[in-house]
Every structure is written in C-alpha cells, then in structure tokens.
Amino acid sequence: MIKSLLIANRGEIACRIIRTARAMGIRTVAVYSDADAHALHVRQADAAVHIGPSPARESYLVGERIIATARQTGAEAIHPGYGFLSENAEFAAAVIDAGLIWVGPSPASITAMGLKDAAKALMAAAGVPVTPGYMGENQAPDFLAEQAGKIGYPVLIKAVAGGGGKGMRRVEHAADFADALASCQREATASFGNAHVLIEKYILTPRHIEVQVFGDTHGNIVHLFERDCSLQRRHQKVIEEAPAPGMDEATRASLCAAAVKAAKAVDYVGAGTIEFIADASEGLSADRIWFMEMNTRLQVEHPVTEEITGVDLVEWQLRVASGEVLPKRQEELAIDGWAMEARLYAEDPAKGFLPSIGHLELLKFGEGPGRRIDTGVFEGAEVSPFYDPMIAKVIAKGPTREAARARLAALLADSAVYPVRTNASFLVRALDHPAFLAGTVDTGLIARDGEAMAAPPVPGEAALTAAAARLVPATMAFGFRLNAAPVTSAKFLLDGEAIDVALSPTGATGPAASTFVTGAGQAWRLSPFRRQAAHGGSAATGAILAPMPGRIIAVEVAQGQRVTRGQKLLTLEAMKMEHTLTAPFDGVVAELAAGPGAQVQVEALLARIEAEEG
Ligand code: ADP
C-alpha cells in the first residue's frame, strides 16, 4: 500500500482525498497557491508546500513543480482529483516517468477518451451504442452542413476537444448552420486550441445518465450503477442523484453492461465514468440511450454513488493504484436507498449567477439525518476569485427518492451564508419543481423554468420578528406588555435597507448591535435603524459604509478634497439600482477606500470624511 500521497488539487476534493488517505494511514502532502495559503486542505494535510501564485496556470497546472514537490517531500504517489491536471495524459506520463505512482488510468486510456470524436468511434467499434451523428475527419463546412441535413434537425455541433459545457451549439434549421459552425469553431480554437467538431442528432427530452465504472490492474472491471445528472444549467450539472428515477432493472442491466464494455475497450484502470444521453420522451428504454463521452477521473458527483453502494471510491482508487485487486466483485455490489447532491455555489442567481466572491463571515449548513457535507471552506475563510466558487457539495441520503429529496431541500433551506450570496434558494426551488418531484427532469428544465427559481429570496416574517427581538432593549419589550399593546412595529436596516418589522414583546433579549435573519438558505444582516447608515454615511464618525453588497460605479471625489454636507461622494450599484452616497457633514475626504469597479461587501468602509479643525 502507498504510504504517502501528494494531492495535486485544492478545495473540497483535496479535503475529500485527505479524509480517506488519513483513515488508511497514508501521509498526505498538500500543495497550494498564494490565494490558498490559509485554505482548509492546507490545514488538514500532514504537510503543505507552496507551489506558486494564485492563477491556476502558475500553480495547480504547473506539472513539473508538482512532480518536484512530490520528490522533495518523499510522496510516493500523486492523486490529481478532478479538473486541473486530472485528464492530462502528458502529466500522467511524466508522473510515471518520474518513478511515482499515478492515481488514475493509464495515459493511453486518457488519450483514447480525450477527444469526443475518437472516443465515439472507438465505442462504436466496440459495439457500444453512440449518439447518431457524424464524427469524421472531413471538416469542410459544406460537407458538415450536408451531414447535418442527413442526421436531421435539430443538431448539436460539438468541439471534439470541448469540455465543461463549452464548444457546443444547438442548431434548429439548416439556414442557421453555417453561422453556428463558424461560431463554435471560433470558441473551440480559443478555448481548446482545436477547431475540429462533430455533429450529433440533438436529442429531444434529453436526460443525462452516467455509469460509474472501476477497473484494476488485474483485468477486473465492475460498474457501480448509474447517476442521473439531468438537472443542468447551460450544460453544467446542478443536482445529481443515484440511482436514476424511472430506471427499470432491464434497462439498468443493459446500460451498465454497455458501460463495462466501454471501459474494457480501453483496458481501463481506476475510477471512470461513462456518460450517456437518453431520449426520455417516452420514459427510459435501452434502445434510446447512447454513449456521449467518458471521463477518466473521479467525478464531482461521486458521493451519491458512495452513499448508495457503501463504497469509498477514493479508497478503491488508492488500493488499485497500489496494485491491489478490486475490493468487491460485481455480484457483491448492490444499491441501498437513494442519494442526492446539490452543488452549493457562491453565486447570485438573481444577478445572472455572477460569482459572489468574498469573506465567509457566516457559514452554516443545515442539519438532519442522512446528511453529508463535502466542503473545502470554513466560516471565516475566503471564496477566492481565482477558482471555481463552489462552497460545498450538500448531499442527503434516504431510504427512498422522496426522503432524500426532502432531506436535501431541508438541509439547503437551513443553511446560511453571509455576506456572499449563494444559489441555495435556487436549489431548493429546483428540488420542489413538479418535474423534479415526478423524476422527469430533462436537461432543458432550468432554461425553461429557471427564472422563477432565480428570484431573490425574502426573509420570512417570523424570522424577522424573532431577529428584531434580539435588537430591542428588554425595557422596550416590557413597555409593550404594560401598555397591553402586544405587537407593534419599528424601523430596522436589513442589509442596509430601511424596513419596518413587527415587534413581539416576548422573547426580547436585546439590545445587540446587529443580528442575522436566516431562511430560504440565505442570511441577511438586521441592525437598528440609523438614518445616516441608511444613506451610507455616519454623522458620528464620518465613515461612509456600503449599505449593501454591490459594485462601485463612480467615485466623484479625490482623497484630500474638501466637501460640503450632502455632496455626492460615490455611486454604488446594487440589485440593479444605483445608490448615491453623500457627505454627512462639511469636511475633507480623509480616506478613500474603494475605486471605480470595486466589488464591495455590505458595511465595507468606502470613504471617511473628517471635519476640518477650527
Ligand atoms: P462536456 O464535455 O462539455 O461536458 P458533453 O458531451 O458531456 O459535454 O455534454 C454536456 C451536456 O450537453 C450533456 O449532459 C447534455 O445535457 C447535453 N448534450 C450533449 N449531447 C447532446 C445531444 N446530442 N443532444 C442533446 N443534448 C446533448
């Protein structure tokens, strides 16, 4: 067995790998960039080595530096996680050439599955059903247009080197083909340095179903059943589950057999995923499910498979990389219960899913039975602009699909993050969508119905009243009781916006300076009303604070400039509205802390006005 392991990754997957390695008594070495100096994976590993500046291409993607670090620290093996160098055949080969153990498939398997056209051709030759289409060498636009016509519209143009949902164009009519092709090729060249495309039949009512496979170095290959990842936004997975709803035993058997056949065709070793696309217009049936591509690594969504099979896939990876036989035979594997995973992101659905970067002042996950949280951050950590802004994978297991779904929705609704915005309420609404309840989600659901899911959540009345009670002095609460006026209302600031909140005299514990209101997976800061704060400036201190998170779009003054009361200082754009911040009194701009374009958090200091002496 491997005794020491370097993890060439960051975030939740680095932490996930460390957890299993530690349980197996394997020493772990983390690598990190400037931005990750205080990251969770650095804290959790037995040793951590700085490998470069924050941009991934100067740190996590520098293969030689990672290999040199493994050598220096005496690590015997390298686990690439997912993303970064995980599907880079050259890096895998370099690791092996350096005399280290590569926790992954052979470079030849990675290469064979690396390009979508070659992979499809290989699968078709091995007798695996592939999506109907053209995947040949001829790239002449007229010829491709002719092929599209033969396949029948709508068609999907796919960059053969594409990934992550990029380099794909859906074309409805022959008249639009030439433009779509040119645009897809431009994107493919820019993103992947390869303009080659293939043309596929666009599957209507498509469902994304994938099969987890595992191979060892002794020629054994098993499958660990399927996952359904049909809930997608712009071809990227949002919620995944295992098993797939509506899957009967015969269809499952045929799909999983096709997956094992695909893995055998490339002598697969380690954890891999065969992705299929199903035409679910009439439910799931084996003759309408086709191979799409193979991912030659551990998937983001691997936990749902672990939850229903009881297998630790990272443990299997490490055993297989150490030369051991697969711990279980096919007939020893079975499905137990149902598991669902949601990707909780630091992003704002109400603002077009823009990343919401910053300090995690508050980070709470809901609690309940069947819960699993895979995360790479902690309360007090930063969500960095340099990497994928995922906060956590929130996973729920239950005896039935409905139990897992309800548990996951509750875990998300009870989570609270501040001040960064998350997609938690979006996820809860998606889980409550009638199609999700019925298990008939197709990949176009969010494009059709996502707008309602993306609306910003509002705090509930009861939560607001309870929070307000924490801010009200006890004497005030007593006063209500004496006056026999059990409920009244008062002004507060909710994330800097003035609102009226009903006050209940019971349970008052205040006064606190500010408190959080939570609900619908979000948190808001509630503080006592201050007129100046509502306008951004404090008459007492001259500090100009951001009344809400937003972006500075104009700075009207310079440091040292003399200003008069009410003079315009800065303009903040938040929630698609402009807020002008003005000077609270005559004075000079003693401090100017934010420039045009800066993204600021609520209550961030933007400027400070000082009264002039004498
Ligand atoms: P990537 O490598 O970028 O993830 P995939 O080939 O895996 O690209 O496709 C990503 C997603 O695009 C799939 O999960 C599915 O939702 C959609 N998709 C792919 N091929 C088709 C198709 N032929 N018809 C309809 N949707 C498709």
pLDDT number for residue 539: 53
87 φ, ψ to 5°?
-115, 30
In order of their start, the domains of the chain are 4-103 (3.40.50.20), 105-131+205-336 (3.30.470.20), 135-201 (3.30.1490.20), 338-456 (3.30.470.20), 461-528 (no CATH), 539-610 (2.40.50.100)
CB 131 near ligand 1, within 6 Å:
yes
Query: How is residue 515 written in tokens?
Result: 């408190």
Distance CA 100, CA 318 (A): 13
**pLDDT surpasses 60 at 487:** no
At residue 614 the predicted structure's pLDDT band, cuts being 50, 70 and 90, is very low
At residue 121 the predicted structure's pLDDT band, cuts being 50, 70 and 90, is very high
Strand partners, 371: 396
pLDDT tens digits for 192-242? 999 999 999 999 999 999 999 999 999 999 999 999 999 999 989 999 999
CB 273 near ligand 1, within 6 Å:
no
State which ligand 1 atom lies nearest to the alpha carbon of 167.
Answer: 3
pLDDT tens digits for 440-464? 999 999 999 999 999 999 999 999 9
At residue 255 the predicted structure's pLDDT band, cuts being 50, 70 and 90, is very high
Whole-angstrom distance between the N-terminal and C-terminal Cα of the chain?
A: 77
Interval between CA 165 and ligand 1 midpoint (Å): 7
pLDDT tens digits for 256-309? 999 999 999 999 999 999 999 999 999 999 999 999 999 999 999 999 999 999
At residue 490 the predicted structure's pLDDT band, cuts being 50, 70 and 90, is confident
pLDDT above 70 covers a percentage of the chain that reads 94
233 is catalytic: no
DSSP one-letter string for 116-133: HHHHHHHHHHTT--B-SE
Choose which residue among 160, 168, 231, 445 to substitute to test ligand 1 binding: the one with the highest number of ligand atoms within 8 A of its C-beta: 168
pLDDT tens digits for 322-359? 999 999 999 999 999 999 999 999 999 998 998 998 89
Nearest CA to ligand 1 atom 1: 163
State which ligand 1 atom lies nearest to the alpha carbon of 158.
Answer: 6
State which ligand 1 atom lies nearest to the alpha carbon of 200.
Answer: 23
C-beta of residue 86 within 8 angstroms of C-beta of residue 62: no
Nearest CA to ligand 1 atom 23: 202
Min mean pLDDT across 122-131, 413-422, 579-588 is at 579-588
Choose, from 297, 319, 525, 608, the residue flagged as catalytic: 297
- For tokens 């000082």, the residue is 610
State which ligand 1 atom lies nearest to the alpha carbon of 202.
Answer: 24
CB 479 near ligand 1, within 6 Å:
no
Q: Average pLDDT of 70-97?
A: 97
Strand partners, 528: 492
pLDDT tens digits for 11-58? 999 999 999 999 999 999 999 999 999 999 999 999 999 999 999 999
Choose which residue among 202, 228, 443 to substitute to test ligand 1 binding: the one with the highest number of ligand atoms within 8 A of its C-beta: 443
Q: Kindly give the residue spans of alpha helices, DSSP state H, lying in 356-441.
A: 401-413, 424-431, 434-438
